[in-house]
């Protein structure tokens, strides 16, 4: 049974990449749906799929998050995961589509929920803006802020994985740091008339196929601080690559809820993987001390200092911090 992928806005639902990509459940806004109806909708999702992963941008209104917590609390369910993402609207929609692709595979709900943080590292989300004077979600230098008031100034802004702002058209143009792997480029046009993503990013980032276009999400102007923009995302489009990326990460079991996870935090209960490390280490130290006391004092060691130091090997790269998972206000898309 595939895990249901739900979203808090229709903006987050892109057309499927292939016929096997499942649809997403769009959860109505709290003002458009009563709490009782939201609870009933979530019950239907749980009965049909068993587990639900809800993607909710951190930019969503606080009322949306409160509704999700309320629904999950009333249902007293541990099968509802809330995935928060800092990606801009088009990047978040790409992340949702990747999760939908993976939901059709054999990954457990816990792995799917925690995979969102891993996938976000491989999504290059940005925009060309006519002004950065109202941009508050990406660090902006004072000089860029002042230049944002100049008529005709255009800026290329990368929100993630590493924030970067470059002024276009100036002398000695800088380049946005792009991916070092094969990607597809998705573009959504606002009120700004420019082909810069297709003409500059496609060759600079060695994107093999022509850029694809989609409608601009309604929340994009608010996120970027201006309607004069062209939003773009470079991402991994192929399911086999996504599958291998997630499958190659070591799986753990959450000590709190028992769900499978990858990375350092459970996607369902948000419990950190290292929560048991300190108690276990303390127990190990206590056992060692007890054994040492029973055997008597330890022999003196040679005071000659060691010439090398031992380093831990194979530490997995930590994923971006994930927020706690709330509950939901849903509507299933067939």
Residue 323: what pLDDT?
Answer: 38
Residues 34, 111, single domain; the answer is yes
Query: Is residue 85 situated within a structural domain?
Result: yes
Residues 111, 243, single domain; the answer is yes
Q: Which residues contact 283 (CB under 8 A, 6 or more apart)?
A: none
Q: What is the pTM of this model?
A: 0.81
What string of DSSP letters covers 272-302?
BGGGGHHHHHHHHHHHHHHHHHHH-SPPPPP
Query: Is residue 301 situated within a structural domain?
Result: no
Query: Is residue 75 situated within a structural domain?
Result: yes
The low-confidence residues of the chain, meaning pLDDT below 70, are 1, 141-152, 170-173, 275-334
Report the Cα 63 to chain-centroid distance in Å.
21
* Chain segment 250-280, per-residue pLDDT in tens: 999 999 999 999 999 999 999 998 755 444 4
The structure tokens listed for 168 are 């276009």
Residues 48, 93, single domain; the answer is yes
As a whole number of angstroms, the distance between CA 70 and CA 24 comes to: 21
Burial 102-117 (b: 16+ CB within 10 A, else e): bbebebebbbbbbbbb
Phi, psi of 291 (to 5 degrees): -65, -40
As a whole number of angstroms, the distance between CA 233 and CA 127 comes to: 8
Residue 289: what pLDDT?
Answer: 45
- The 3-state secondary structure of 134-202 reads CCCCCCCCHHHHHHCCCCCCEEEEEEECCCEEEEECCCCCCCCCCCCCCCEEEEEECCCCCCHHHHHHH
* Chain segment 39-97, per-residue pLDDT in tens: 999 999 999 999 999 999 999 999 999 999 999 999 999 999 999 999 999 999 999 99
Residue 302: what pLDDT?
Answer: 37
Q: Residue 70's domain is classified under what CATH number?
A: 3.40.50
Residue 3: what pLDDT?
Answer: 95
Q: In terms of residue numbers, what domain contains 37?
A: 4-121+239-262
The structure tokens listed for 114 are 């925690």
Residue 2: what pLDDT?
Answer: 84
Residues 115, 182, single domain; the answer is no
């Amino acid at each position: 049974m595939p895990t249901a992928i739900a979203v808090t806005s229709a903006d987050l639902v892109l057309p499927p990449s292939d016929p096997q990509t499942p649809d997403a459940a769009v959860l109505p806004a709290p003002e458009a749906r009563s709490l009782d109806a939201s609870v009933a909708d979530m019950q239907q999702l749980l009965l049909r799929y068993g587990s639900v992963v809800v993607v909710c941008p951190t930019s969503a209104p606080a009322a949306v998050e409160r509704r999700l917590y309320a629904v999950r609390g009333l249902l007293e369910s541990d099968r509802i995961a809330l995935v928060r993402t800092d990606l801009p609207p088009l990047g978040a929609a790409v992340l949702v589509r990747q999760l939908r692709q993976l939901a059709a595979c054999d990954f457990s709900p816990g792995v799917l929920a925690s995979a969102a943080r891993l996938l976000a590292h491989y999504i290059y989300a940005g925009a060309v803006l006519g002004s950065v004077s109202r941009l508050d979600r990406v660090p902006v230098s004072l000089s860029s802020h002042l230049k944002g008031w100049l008529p005709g100034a255009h800026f290329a802004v990368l929100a993630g994985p590493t924030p970067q702002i470059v002024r276009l058209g100036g002398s000695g143009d800088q380049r946005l740091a792009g991916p070092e792997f094969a990607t597809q480029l998705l573009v959504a046009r606002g009120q700004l008339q420019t082909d810069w993503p297709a003409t500059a990013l496609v060759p600079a980032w060695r994107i093999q196929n022509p850029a694809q276009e989609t409608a601009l999400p309604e929340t994009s102007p608010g996120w970027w601080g201006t309607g004069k923009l062209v939003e773009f995302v470079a991402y991994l489009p192929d399911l086999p690559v996504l599958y291998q990326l997630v499958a190659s990460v070591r799986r753990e079991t959450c000590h709190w809820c028992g769900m499978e996870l990858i990375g350092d935090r459970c996607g369902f209960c948000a419990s950190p993987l290292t929560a048991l490390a300190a108690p276990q280490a303390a127990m190990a130290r206590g056992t060692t001390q007890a054994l040492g006391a029973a055997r008597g004092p330890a022999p003196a060691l040679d005071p000659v200092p060691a010439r090398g130091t031992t380093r831990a090997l194979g530490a997995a790269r930590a994923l971006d911090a994930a927020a706690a998972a709330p509950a939901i206000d849903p509507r299933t898309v067939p």
